[in-house]
Amino acid sequence: MKVPFKEVESRVNDERKSVTREISKRYQKSTKKEKGLMLNEFTALTGYNRNYASYQFSKVVHVMLLFRNLYEVTGF
């Protein structure tokens, strides 16, 4: 049975997002040397460029903080 390309692409993107979310939590707490190793592993796994991967890690954390602050202020 053939799986449609769009479905496969969607699954891959979902996996990348979940991996990014998990690694970004550890990334923020790690040392500079550990961050370099994490970026190497992450880029090998996902195929992302190192700069883009670093951007993704910081973006995920900013969004999580934004929602946490929104919840604390509004109770939403």
Structure-block tokens of residue 26: 């550890």
Contacts with 27 (C-beta within 8 Å, 6 or more apart), sequence order: 35, 38, 57
Predicted local confidence at residue 46, as pLDDT:
85
**More confident site: 16 or 31:** 31
Q: What residue segments make up the domains of the chain, in order of their start?
A: 5-74
pLDDT in tens, 48-67: 899 998 888 887 666 666 66
CA-based torsion, 49, 55, 40, 16: positive or negative = negative
Mean pLDDT of the chain: 79
Which amino acid is residue 12, in one-letter code? V
What is each CA distance from 9 to 4, 14, 29, 68, in whole angstroms?
Answer: 9, 9, 31, 30
